Amino acid sequence: MSNYSRYIWFNGKLTNFENAKIHVLSHCIHYGSAVFEGIKCYDTDNGPAIFKLKEHMERLHKSANAFKIKIPFDVNTLCEATKELVRKNEVKDCYLRPIAYYGFDTLGVHPKKCPVEVSIATLNWGAYVSKDALEKGARITISPWKKYKSNAFPSSTKASGPYLNSMLAVQDAKSRGFDEALLLNEDNTVAEGSGQNIFLIKNNVFYTNDQTSNILLGITRSTLFELIEELGYKYKVQNISQDDLFSADEVFYCGSASEVTPIKQIDNHKVGNGKSGLLTLKLQEKYYNIVRGKEEKYFKWLSFISD
């Protein structure tokens, strides 16, 4: 399979990849006026299944509402379109990218009567950080770029423009030989990765931060809360300092694309024994079993393409 889908769902219908185009003067190109989602589809014994499809499309609408982008398709329509797209592209494992954006009407900052356009595409993205990082742990660096405050952009949304902040952070990390970046807030507390929430584990307790730390309230993040408790452990939500981070037994990233990615090194500091943490790998295995349809109890989180 190539990296991009043969068909893209574009403004209400399936179209060939090469025909899914927007005008160069579209508002979104000039001002980043778009909202998007990242969703994963997994091959299971019951055929391809999309993880938490409805929750992602609901968040797409929530993000759009925050920027007064009126999506002309409801959640159910977008969910059915996504399933149709996976069937049409004949893919089993894939990454899905829905996006809603302002097209062309004006070049003024105010979008006025710019039409809202919507597309959904499938990609063969593989491991977001790297396959090696999923197994052996990632090397990350604290970025010199700070995370923007929620009173500058609503951090609980996935909007295109603010992701320039993440782009700067990950470009810097890659240029210095690291797998990923970690952004801090202006007060030097921990925010999140360039596209991931962060957890740490100390004395068998899981810790993560919340919206007061200017983070996206990730769907994977909330999923892990339930899984942590099912595995018999506790989690706490609180601000995370750099001291908390460097004294942790284990650290990991999570997200729809990153799934559960262990972190073995932060700058020159070795996390724990410098290998993927055992509890992190235990949680990762639980997560993979669920998204790959191996636990019937959690079929409620899967949208099977054959339905």
Q: Which residues are catalytic?
A: 158
Residue pair 216/156 in contact by the 8 Å Cβ criterion:
yes
User: Which tokens belong to 234?
Assistant: 């506790």
Which region holds residue 203: left if phi is over 0, alpha if psi is between -120 and 50, else beta? left
**Residue 261, Cβ neighbours under 10 Å: how many?**
28
Q: Which residue has the tokens 């063969």?
A: 124
Amino acid found at 278: L
Centre a 10 Å sphere on the Cβ of residue 149 and count the other Cβ atoms it contains. 12
Query: Quick one: tokens of 244?
Result: 């908390």
CA–CA dist 259, 236 (Å, integer): 20
Dihedral, 56, 154, 216, 67 alpha carbons, nearest 10: 20
Q: Which residue has the tokens 């990762």?
A: 284
CA distance to 49, 244, 260, 270, per residue, from 140 (Å) = 31, 16, 15, 11
Alpha carbons 5 and 135: distance in angstroms, whole number: 28
Q: How far, in whole angstroms, is CA 261 from its chain's centroid?
A: 12
- Are β-strands 259-266 and 269-270 bridged in parallel, bridged antiparallel, or unpaired? antiparallel
259-266/138-146 β-pairing: parallel
Q: Distance between CA atoms of 74 and 61, rounded to whole angstroms?
A: 8
